[in-house]
Amino acid sequence: MEKVKELAAQYQQAGNNCAETVVKVCNDCLDLKLPPETLRMVSVLGGGVAGSGCICGALNGACLVLGCLAGRTTPEEKTKAEINQPVREFQKIWLDRFKATCCRVLKSPANGGPVSCGDLMADTSVMLLDFIREKKLA
């Protein structure tokens, strides 16, 4: 998993935000072959949804990857429960680790932070890839 952390650091250093980094790492490691349009959509999630400081971009990016693997294209394909289950499971694991989902809280000294965004991106990527492999989603 050290390679995953190195790849995340490379994406961050190249100027990618937290959501872009997590999605691009997973795209590379899982060979998802995401089209450029998907990566364009992800770009607005950095800094907690367009820099608003709300839901962490790394977590948002992780949820999008899980949607890519476990989601649906029509309502008849899967139930909401089926598509939401892996996201809820991962979000709980992530929340247990980082104690908050809000970017502002994660960066706040009052929450024991600030959390290093670089570490957050790398750790989220590793956690997500482990989760995907454990759940056999890819």
47: containing domain: 1-137
How many independent structural domains does the chain possess? 1
Rounded Cα–Cα distance for residues 79 and 84 (Å): 9
Helix axes of 117-135 and 57-70: crossing angle, nearest 10 degrees: 20
pLDDT at 1: 84
pLDDT along the chain (138 residues), means of 10: 96 97 98 96 93 93 97 97 97 95 88 84 98 95
Enter the pTM of the model: 0.94
